[in-house]
Amino acid sequence: MHSKLMFPRSIRYLLSVAENHSFTRAAEALHVSQPTLSQQIKLLEEALDAQLLDRSGRNVRLTDAGEVYVRHARRALEELDAAKRAVVDLEDLSRGYLRLGMTPITEYLTTSLVDEFNARYPGIAVSAMEMSQDQIEAGVADGTLDAGIAFTHSTQSEVEPSKIELHTLFMEPLSLAVGADHALAGRQEPMGIEVLSQEPLVMLNQNFALRRHFDLYCMEHGTHPRIAVETNSLSMMVQSVRLGRLITVLPTTIACTLPRLYAVPLVPELPHHTIALIGPHGTYKSPACRAFGKLAAEWNFGRAPISPDQPIEPPARKSRMASKAAPMPKAGVAVA
């Protein structure tokens, strides 16, 4: 190849021009001068003896040769990035980073695990991102996430099973949850399933596993829940229930530990669901990822379970777990 070719920088320049359809916008995005960017791409074209960009129109676009080259170049850069991570992530865990995906529910349930990991390995930067279960599985499969924590799927996953592996952390029961001012607050006797069609509910939307588990439960028992509000935010759910009019379904740990929430028994009993650690299968795992998996197993072993009818604390008190929970996300809401 051309002796002046700057690899992989020139490829990144080409990708930016292709994405922005403009040399000017690509140069701004990369924080380089336009002449420098143009020169590097010209050298790349000379080295390949092919025109990669069509500069004749108002917008710059890839030629057929450019399309083919970019497709292979993206894969090459992904491999180079993986190689860089493998070198940077030292086995002694004195530095590195962990990219972790969690759903709004599992984020709350496992915040103490992330806190313990940070305390044990302070040199490892943790990037914890909230997203749907499908996004977590896709991210782990394509390498943009190191690991994820989510419910096991109630339906067939869209990701090939050979690309991810699931390790059970714990079983979490679900409970009907009401606010302190609701008429059902403090009720000890189980409610019949008909309450779901009589009382207005606020629920996560169908992008989330908790909602899909709930929908499957309702379908199996032939009931049609009265869902008044859908959201993608646990904070929105909790605040709505605390106002006293709406009810919801939450993991029992949340219903029993957050202030001004009460868990109410339901018959037939709401299902218990498996919280799992999701990791890549058959591919490189960073030392940080392996250490997180090991710690998760230890943390789960020492975790005190909460049963639906025996909360570890009265609902009005805030537990250590609640106090260490991550900030709730801003709500995105659709009103039915």
- Residue 87 domain-assigned? no
Same domain, 250 and 232: yes
- Residue 125 domain-assigned? yes
Same domain, 281 and 157: yes
CATH number, domain of 256, equals 3.40.190.290
Q: What is the DSSP annotation of 137-162?
A: HHHHHHTS-SEEEEEPPSS--SS-GG
Range of the domain at 184: 174-272+329-335
Same domain, 149 and 268: no
Query: What pLDDT, in 10s, does the model give residues 51-91?
Result: 999 999 889 999 999 999 999 998 888 888 887 777 776 67
Query: What pLDDT, in 10s, does the model give residues 2-36?
Result: 444 446 788 889 999 999 999 999 999 999 999 99
Q: If pLDDT is split at 50, 70 and 90, which confidence band does 116 have?
A: very high
Query: Could you give the CA distance from residue 272 to residue 252 in angstroms, rounded to a whole number?
Result: 10
Same domain, 264 and 285: no
CATH number, domain of 40, equals 1.10.10.10
* Cα dihedral sign, 161-164-165-168: negative
Same domain, 120 and 105: yes
- Residue 4 domain-assigned? no
Same domain, 16 and 69: yes
Query: Domains in the chain: how many in total?
Result: 3
CATH number, domain of 290, equals 3.40.190.10
With 0.75 as the threshold, say if the pTM is over it. Answer: no
Query: What pLDDT, in 10s, does the model give residues 179-220?
Result: 999 999 999 899 999 999 999 999 999 988 889 889 999 999
- Residue 20 domain-assigned? yes
Query: Could you give the CA distance from residue 65 to residue 121 in angstroms, rounded to a whole number?
Result: 47
- Residue 312 domain-assigned? no
Same domain, 301 and 279: yes
- Other beta carbons within 10 Å of 306: 23
Q: Give the Å distances, CA to CA, from 270 to 34, 172, 190, 210, 295.
A: 61, 11, 11, 11, 30
